[in-house]
Chain A
Amino acid sequence: GQSLEQPSEVTAVEGAIVQINCTYQTSGFYGLSWYQQHDGGAPTFLSYNGLDGLEETGRFSSFLSRSDSYGYLLLQELQMKDSASYFCAVKPGTYKYIFGTGTRLKVLA
């Protein structure tokens, strides 16, 4: 089967750094994306890794290791507004996406 595993919940304080891991097992692999979703809202795109290595976008960075079937999202200088669910998503085919189980991030004051 195809699966993406993430920690269910992560808690951190404002200003801290947090890493959300994603391990995947899929029949194909084109790339790994990360999305943020606030309660009741729609997911918003954060980053995409098609190749191994680190991609940085402001306070967010995403890493991919294809040989390890592993990636992570790194959030720096945490803010209260970062409290949300974060999903990794694998693109195993041209027109297909599989989303991870999701990680609820709680940022404490």
Chain B
Amino acid sequence: GAVVSQHPSRVICKSGTSVKIECRSLDFQATTMFWYRQFPKQSLMLMATSNEGSKATYEQGVEKDKFLINHASLTLSTLTVTSAHPEDSSFYICSARVAGEETQYFGPGTRLLVL
């Protein structure tokens, strides 16, 4: 149980295009989903927190107009990187949490390469 999927697993795009990443909790309802960014051999940096049906809360320094987050249902959250640039290339990981639990269930991640 407690499986989180992400799609796509890898994406290569041209500079200036937008990329949408989906995060789904497959067998549970996630009241809260988190989006992280991880550079090679570095730690996870929380980008934003989203609760179903409400606006995402972004961490300081994360542009909300560039990284659009939608949490439309208890099983789906999407991250759209708008007008992507090479510096946006990174490993993006989502996680989901059930209310009352401390465990975060992580998706497999999406490797984004912007050319």
Residues of A within 8 A of B45 (CB): 99
Which one, B41, B42, B102, B106, contacts A42 given CB within 8 A? Answer: B106
Contacts between the two chains (Cβ within 8 Å), count: 48
Per-position binary interface string of chain A over residues 41-71, scored 1 when its CB falls under 8 Å from any chain B CB and 0 otherwise: 1111100101000000000000000000000
Interface size on B, residues (CB 8 A): 22
**A102–B38 Cα gap in the complex (Å)?**
12
- B28 proximal to A (CB < 8 A): no
Contact assessment for B43 and A95 in the assembled complex, using a CB-CB cutoff below 8 Å: no
Residues of A within 8 A of B36 (CB): 99
Which one, A44, A50, A87, contacts B44 given CB within 8 A? Answer: A87
Question: Chain B at the A interface: mostly helix, strand, loop or mixed?
Answer: strand
- B108 proximal to A (CB < 8 A): yes
Give me the interface of A with B, judged by CB distance under 8 Å: 31, 33, 35, 41-45, 48, 50, 87, 89, 91, 95-102
Contact assessment for A91 and B102 in the assembled complex, using a CB-CB cutoff below 8 Å: yes
Contact assessment for A97 and B108 in the assembled complex, using a CB-CB cutoff below 8 Å: no
Q: Known: A42-B108, A95-B32, A95-B49. Contact between A48 and B43, CB under 8 A?
A: no
The minimal Cβ–Cβ distance linking A96 to chain B, given in whole angstroms, is 7
Which one, A45, A50, A98, A101, contacts B104 given CB within 8 A? Answer: A45
**A100–B32 Cα gap in the complex (Å)?**
21
**A31–B57 Cα gap in the complex (Å)?**
20
**A89–B104 Cα gap in the complex (Å)?**
11
